[in-house]
Structure 1
Amino acid sequence: MLGLLLLYWIGKYFYKLAEEYDKSEWGFAILGVVVYYAGIIAASFTIGIILDIFYPEFLETMNDTVLSLFMIPFGILSCYLLYMLLEKSWKKTKADKDRFADQIS
């Protein structure tokens, strides 16, 4: 249930960002959720490989629930970074359009 609520909030923030800058709302809401899962998968592989190299028996004895809860911040961080990147890029584009529109007038 916690996972669905988290996915809802991620989608909602990306939806509002895309709506503010006149982009595809649903496309970017889905992109936010996909990036969340991609961040979790990338962090899981990286940490799994590192732990397997240095502590081979650690992953066999670790609880899967604890490991999945440990990966949530990595998914949120990847969403946050994409959100900031999109917002910065779109602000710059919008400012350029506004400046160009002022020159025409």
Structure 2
Amino acid sequence: MAHTVTVLRLLDAVRPVWQRHGGAVHDLLTADFSAGGELVRSLAAYLDAGGDVPRAAQRLVVHPNTLRYRLRRARERFGIDLDDPDTRLVVTLAVRLADTADGRPPEST
């Protein structure tokens, strides 16, 4: 529970910076939420599974190749490189911020 409170405080501190930032991850969340959120859910499952595609696919109830396709789409369409640790951190924070905003993408300003 203490870790959850710490994460929520961190997210509250990061939110204003995120809302002003923009960039590829922000564009992905905004575009994907307007289309139903499939890529965001796939990215979240992949990151929560520590990059384990079969485990993430199982959580999503999709074939691992379907998940690989979605991850490839995120890379090709938005330039999201999940091999880069900084990108993974930004995506993780963005997904958590969206989760704490009742499923809405973080607002742009």
Question: Is the TM value for this pair above 0.5?
Answer: no
- Which structure dedicates a bigger proportion of its chain to helix? 1
What TM-score comes out, normalization by structure 1 length? 0.24
Structure possessing the higher radius of gyration over alpha carbons:
1
